[in-house]
Amino acid sequence: MTSSIDVQQISDEMEIAGLLNRYARAVDSKDWELYRSVFTDDAVIDYSSAGAIAGSCDEVTDWLSKGFAAIPWTMHYITNVEVEIDGDRARVRAMFYNPMHLPGRAEMSSCGGYYHHQLVRTKDGWRSSKLREENVWFANAPKN
């Protein structure tokens, strides 16, 4: 039995994994320029399932930079990455686990769920044109 290796598929999946890693590092390090680099200029980002904002990349980045200034630390883990590539477009479904220290909480908080990305290949590599977070659970959630 002969199997062929699709070098382009492997390369694309590795680049997409790197994009997801940069996303996590950008949020956790509060590097908002790095965060913006994950997305296309016209990207739509939806964190509403976690009680946060949905909007353009600029709107969401501004909201996150203000809100995360009060959060001492977060540490995103992105796993179980499933990628469907169709030419210069791709869909990604990945699990996330995010422990964090929220202001006013003595104990660690954490949440988990899925990231749903729609990606496009650009001259600068893969970028997310749409991200929807599907928050499934939140332990020690912030008080409203």
Per-residue model confidence (pLDDT) at position 135: 97
Query: Could you tell me if residue 10 is left (phi over 0), alpha (psi between -120 and 50 degrees) or otherwise beta?
Result: alpha
Model-level pTM? Answer: 0.93
142 pLDDT tier (thresholds 50, 70, 90): confident
Per-residue model confidence (pLDDT) at position 55: 98
CATH class of 7-139: alpha beta
